[in-house]
Structure 1
């Protein structure tokens, strides 16, 4: 009896040490944020010199977030208090660097830095890391960072790919409502990310087959390779990156709908094979779910591993080619090259730039596809051991609920302040602009989550599915609308264009 009490007290003490709000949040959240604030303030006051660019800080953020993801994921396989602490501390340091980079960005541009995809991606990553720490210390569960930090890594990568060029604010963004509205949105999205992570872990713990999740996850790489670069990967085996001149895309038609692009050597061929591997994995998993034949399950997982290797190789070759490209004019898409006068190539060809910023969203999609495949590969290896490391269904359900409770008020205020800002800018509170519509759809997902839970007692798998679908809506609202749907918010993903090609 005494031994049981001693064990119980030890377990409680261990949990309290993790859950300690004052100490835990002070050390891992408030101290890094305070240090970042002091760093930015000292720059502003001229006590320390301001850097010409915040990019070195952002690279450090990426390194720390990536390290945190590795520590957290490793701790799922190898339950080690040191790994868990390293994951939390690396997240905390990355958070401080993230805040410092974002604040430095504000000093460089001279306004509140939430005006384009680069700025918002940095803040979205910051909010994701902060929400991960808050939920971790409020619940005593370390696993949140295992999936939240990879999302933060992808967001930082997206920002780096988009580029940090300093641009004047469009007139519509010159409003005190901009920092209020966008800050609420990014903070809410960070909390939504954590709810997605815990909901996904709930589904795995609830014995939803990984192969079912894999079919949905691997459908994204498959569709990416099928349609990216206008379908050229499956067509002629080319991966195109839009060329830049003086930081701007180069239109080749009077309407500015088509832009000059270059075929990056070898990348398209690698991704074409990756497409075959992704289709093979999808077919194998589908057959396994129908027949329950273990051989097809093994084929699916081996195909996913092959896909991961091919994706990594494709991304590595792409980055090397972007770094080493010299004679950019020689890489111009042959179909476009025939449309361009020779005199133009001779005069302007040396000014063409092959940079990731030309096709930031497409390249970011390659990284996202790699991450999704990595998720299937990681969780497909020693699955039973991972499931043992994941907390109980009740704990995961509560974590998802807490994260949604954190996100929903922020999303509500986001919609309200957006309407007020719209009235100030365009003379109406609501105009069914695509961004407005999808923001409302996102809000409705989380409102439905809370309504069904509080009123009808929904818990478990149904609530987890709502949280997952809500995050899909979040990402489409954040990226899909700005890049794919025309509207008043499309400025978020567009480059300037100078019609240099007749």
Structure 2
């Protein structure tokens, strides 16, 4: 077995262990209701088992990280597949740290799905080992990316605890405008999570059946001297092309549900790497997410948040609020160092300037300002409870757009990470 295949095996085992730990945490939380002897003892026992599985999953994922590093010859955080797998590992580590402090089994019921979803989402991207481009051949790659991911892992735990708080306190039976607005907000967050899950499932289904479509795209570029050049590239699809790339022709396309040609063309202003394919992926994500959400709603016959809320009945809302705040408070200084200060030093070393308003730099600054506002409102204005929880939930959406959306949709110096 080669080092690269061994790393893949380690990653698969970690994914299985994380999934099992999520199931065990679910038993710990929901099982206390039918535990006849000592519900609290039941929660502690199963929660401990869930933690052990998480720790072993983390060890196997660390084994993946080391073996892939050996196979690649550089730290494996240079593209979307590698970064997202590393981020999921950091989320598992951050969860273990927070769990060691608060000993709250129900946190695993929400933090571990975030870890699992991000790891599953990473598997959508090509796992091939790629050589480092010149700009990444620096020791700052190890410092900047790893610390940024570690800080964002605590933001993820803060998101999980914030969502738990909302599920605990939202009145799903209230008829006031405020109650209805809050319920809808929670359902939107749940829909986003379900859409991510549906997207991963959809991609794996079409990969499993071997679906393929291919387009030849021609892009005209104008140099600073005014000279026009035409670049030709081949764009591969694994999902049926509802949208084809701008200025492209079909090379090959397997029919799907009577659709033997794309329904539309991507707009010309979408100039990120393979923008047409990514718009197509986004549309499929919404379709798959809507279908899965409706199926779950039909099965539950109520809002999903209302179905989850009973599992939160034994939780102290103030504890959840405190966990969310503490996790973000830990992540903020790490993000300041890793994602801003160290990034600026590396930018000066690589590109000759500390700041250039590149889309990734801009969104990193937006993320930092957002969490600065969160801490300001929390500490100076007394924004606790609902307001704090909503900011924690929305903040992680900003984090994920900074990491995924910017790399995939917006062209810039960091677009290599979207490959």
Change (3 A) 1:240 1:52: closer
Asked if the contact 1:449–1:466 (Cα under 8 Å) also holds between the matched residues in 2, the reply is: yes
Change (3 A) 1:175 1:127: same
From 61, 70, 81, the counterpart of 1:107: 70
From 332, 336, 340, the counterpart of 1:408: 332
Change (3 A) 1:146 1:384: closer
Asked if the contact 1:162–1:360 (Cα under 8 Å) also holds between the matched residues in 2, the reply is: no
Quick check: 1:420 aligned with 2:339? no
1:76 deviates by 2.1
1:217 deviates by 3.5
SS in 2 for 1:161: coil
CA RMSD of aligned residues (A): 3.7
| Other-structure match for 1:259 | 235
| Other-structure match for 1:291 | none
Gaps of 5+ in 1: 1-47, 230-238, 245-249, 269-327, 337-357, 495-502
1:211 deviates by 4.7
Asked if the contact 2:278–2:408 (Cα under 8 Å) also holds between the matched residues in 1, the reply is: no
| Other-structure match for 1:21 | none
Gaps of 5+ in 2: 33-41, 173-182, 203-208, 220-230, 243-250, 263-276
From 18, 26, 29, the counterpart of 1:65: 18
Asked if the contact 2:195–2:288 (Cα under 8 Å) also holds between the matched residues in 1, the reply is: no
1:362 deviates by 3.4
Change (3 A) 1:407 1:365: farther
How many residue pairs match? The answer is 348
Q: How does 1:33-432 map to 2 (within 5 A)?
A: 50=3, 52-79=5-32, 80-81=42-43, 82-209=45-172, 210-218=183-191, 243=213, 251-253=216-218, 255-256=231-232, 259-261=235-237, 331=254, 334-335=260-261, 362=281, 365=285, 369=289, 373=293, 380=305, 382-383=307-308, 385-389=310-314, 391-414=315-338, 415-432=340-357
Change (3 A) 1:365 1:70: farther
Asked if the contact 1:158–1:361 (Cα under 8 Å) also holds between the matched residues in 2, the reply is: no
| Other-structure match for 1:436 | 361
1:369 deviates by 3.9
From 379, 382, 388, the counterpart of 1:457: 382
1:262 deviates by 6.2
Name the one with the larger strand percent: 2
Asked if the contact 1:262–1:331 (Cα under 8 Å) also holds between the matched residues in 2, the reply is: no
Change (3 A) 1:409 1:432: same
1:360 deviates by 12
SS in 2 for 1:253: strand
